Amino acid sequence: MGNLNLSVLIPIIVYFSLMYIIGIYAAKILSKVAKSKGDGSQYMEEYMTGGRDTGGFVLAMTLVATYLSAGSFIGGPGTAYTIGLAWVFLAMSQMPTGYYTVSVLGKKFAIISRKVNCNTITDFLRARYRSNAVVILASLSIIFFITAAMAAQWIGAARLLQGSTGLDYKVALFFFGITVVVHTAIGGYRGVVLNDTLQGIVMTISTVALFAMVLVKGGGITNIIQNMKAIDPGMISPMGVDPGFTSKAWVTSYWVLVGFAVIGLPSVAQRAMSYKDTKSLSSGIKYGTVVSIVLLLGMHLVGAFGSTLVSGIESGDLVVPTLAVSLFPDVLAGIMLAGPLAAVMSTVDSQLLVVVGAIVNDLYVNYIKPQVAEDAKRVSKLTIGTTIVMGIVTFLLAIDPPELMVWLNLFATAGQISTFLWPTILGLYWKKANKEGAIASMIVGMVSYVIFNYNYPRPLGMHAIVASLILSLIAFVVVSKFTKEPSKDIIETFWGI
């Protein structure tokens, strides 16, 4: 590991420094709020939602950057490298995500979150169902699943840094981790979304540049496609190189996991309650759709096309870094690699904030010391302290991942979705949704997903999430029908003026 590649490392250091500057800027606004308003709840609102002041472009960028993670920037293109256009096709099933998520949660979600003053998705569930069991299930789901998912993403980012710059793994991990923790801890939501915006821009530039380079080096689309066909005709068929693996039912059902059900991810829902006004929402949807489609199509095509340029890359995770380093001169390669790093960082900073929200806002202030909420200074110490502690926990998990973490990460996305999707949507649109139904759906969704995965990984040929979402929907509706309707007071708060 002795040979550091400085010309790749330096652009990345410059890029990381920018994150700190943005963090400090956001921290200044935060400290103004902490000083001017003595009330801790005001501080919490500013920390978790940026004072509900997010404009259109920033909203779009933070949404896209949050839900496009290492999966879409490293793993996905890596798989497209071996499977070909079928995997690009699969990735493109999430085309609707940019407009779908925010339209469905919609203005109603924004209006209600202002009415009941919620800062996190769990706040929303607490106000809607008034049940400790719901709040605790939701918070624990966030803490365990998201922490595991974060650690896994940190590992990916550190490997990427290690592979391209020659840094030692632990040094790379530390370097990455401290950047995330510092800008999140001091900047809160505002720091995170501003950073996401920068990262979204970096991701876009690096995608477009990589794609253009691959096109030029490959001799144009026609040439590349014919070369892919020569490697294996399956590379240019939607059935893939192994039709048993990329079967129609399975590929199509991916739409549920990465498109439809993204509404259930707390870090995404968080964004849907924090935009400033309906103008921001409109432009957020428009920009968000364009940017997410360009990034998804571009990056996955880079992976698929890359198979004709550099052959024999063993691990899927190394495809994008290897292409960047072999196609670009070093300094530019560093800038290109900032793209995938940005994809990871913008996902984990939002996740970190959601975990901190669950611990401080949803559990500590609610159940342990409610009086803390009065005092902005103490809330601020508590949130910053928790962010740092969670950063250290994630760092330790990423150095030596325990089995439990690996297991949790496997179920992280589906786990969050089965906990939050139906309680959020039905809570928003169905008056009869009650707490018993919500609890039933959370438990059925989670348990059935785990059981399917171990015993019957593709029920009806589809991804297991589909069957477990159907079961948890049935559980929700049936249990709600047979138990007491929500109180009049709840209905009036949510549906009245």
Partner 1 sequence: MSVKEVDNIKMDSTEGFMEDPRYKQCNKEARYGVILGLLNLVWWYVFGYGLGDKPVEGYTYILGFPSWFFFSCVLGAIVFIGLTFFMVDKLFKHMPLDKFTEEEAKEYLKSIEGKEA
Least CB distance to partner 1 at residue 290 (A): 6
Least CB distance to partner 1 at residue 342 (A): 22
Least CB distance to partner 1 at residue 115 (A): 5
Identity of the residue, 285 or 408, whose beta carbon is nearer to partner 1 in the bound complex:
285
Of the candidates 75, 166, 238, 401, which one interacts with partner 1 according to CB under 8 A?
Answer: 238
Residues 424-453 that bind partner 1 (CB under 8 A): 429
Q: How far apart are CA 210 and CA 188, in angstroms?
A: 32
Size of the site for partner 1 (CB under 8 A): 57
Q: How far apart are CA 91 and CA 297, in angstroms?
A: 8
Q: Is 248 in the site for partner 1 (CB under 8 A)?
A: yes
**Region of 11-19, 171-179, 288-296, 435-443 interacting with partner 1 (CB under 8 A):** 288-296
Which residues, 6+ apart, have CB-to-CB distance to 131 below 8 Å? 435, 438, 439
- Mark 112-141 with x for binding to partner 1 (rule: CB under 8 A) and - for no binding: --xx--------------------------
Q: Is 461 in the site for partner 1 (CB under 8 A)?
A: no
Q: Is 178 in the site for partner 1 (CB under 8 A)?
A: no
Q: Is 484 in the site for partner 1 (CB under 8 A)?
A: no
* Residue 342 backbone phi and psi in degrees, to 5: -65, -40
Which tokens in the block code for residue 314?
A: 């063993």
Residues 201-230 that bind partner 1 (CB under 8 A): 220-225, 229
SS3 275: strand
> In this structure, what DSSP letter does residue 125 have?
H
Identity of the residue, 259 or 401, whose beta carbon is nearer to partner 1 in the bound complex:
259
State the virtual CA torsion across 434, 439, 440, 441 in degrees, nearest 10.
90
CB-neighbour burial class of residue 455 (10 A; exposed 0-12, middle 13-18, buried 19+):
exposed
Q: Which residues of 207-226 are buried (b: 16+ CB within 10 A; e: fewer)?
A: bebbbebbbebbeeeeebbe
CB 154 within 8 A of CB 175: no
- Mark 341-360 with x for binding to partner 1 (rule: CB under 8 A) and - for no binding: --------------------
Of the candidates 234, 266, 316, 445, which one interacts with partner 1 according to CB under 8 A?
Answer: 234
Which tokens in the block code for residue 69?
A: 């993670």
Q: Is 290 in the site for partner 1 (CB under 8 A)?
A: yes
- Mark 360-399 with x for binding to partner 1 (rule: CB under 8 A) and - for no binding: ----------------------------------------
Of the candidates 37, 130, 286, 458, which one interacts with partner 1 according to CB under 8 A?
Answer: 286
Q: Which of 268, 285, 288 is nearest to 103 (CA)?
A: 285
- Mark 83-112 with x for binding to partner 1 (rule: CB under 8 A) and - for no binding: --x--xx--xx-xx-xxx-xxxxxxx-xx-
Which tokens in the block code for residue 86?
A: 């079928």
Which residues, 6+ apart, have CB-to-CB distance to 400 below 8 Å? none
Q: How far apart are CA 448 and CA 433, in angstroms?
A: 21
CB-neighbour burial class of residue 370 (10 A; exposed 0-12, middle 13-18, buried 19+):
exposed
Q: How far apart are CA 211 and CA 214, in angstroms?
A: 5
Least CB distance to partner 1 at residue 473 (A): 15
Identity of the residue, 11 or 76, whose beta carbon is nearer to partner 1 in the bound complex:
76
Of the candidates 10, 133, 239, 372, which one interacts with partner 1 according to CB under 8 A?
Answer: 239
Least CB distance to partner 1 at residue 59 (A): 13
Binding site for partner 1 (CB under 8 A): 85, 88-89, 92-93, 95-96, 98-100, 102-108, 110-111, 114-115, 220-225, 229, 233-234, 236-239, 248, 252, 255, 259-260, 277-279, 281-282, 285-286, 289-290, 293, 297, 429, 488, 491-492, 495-497
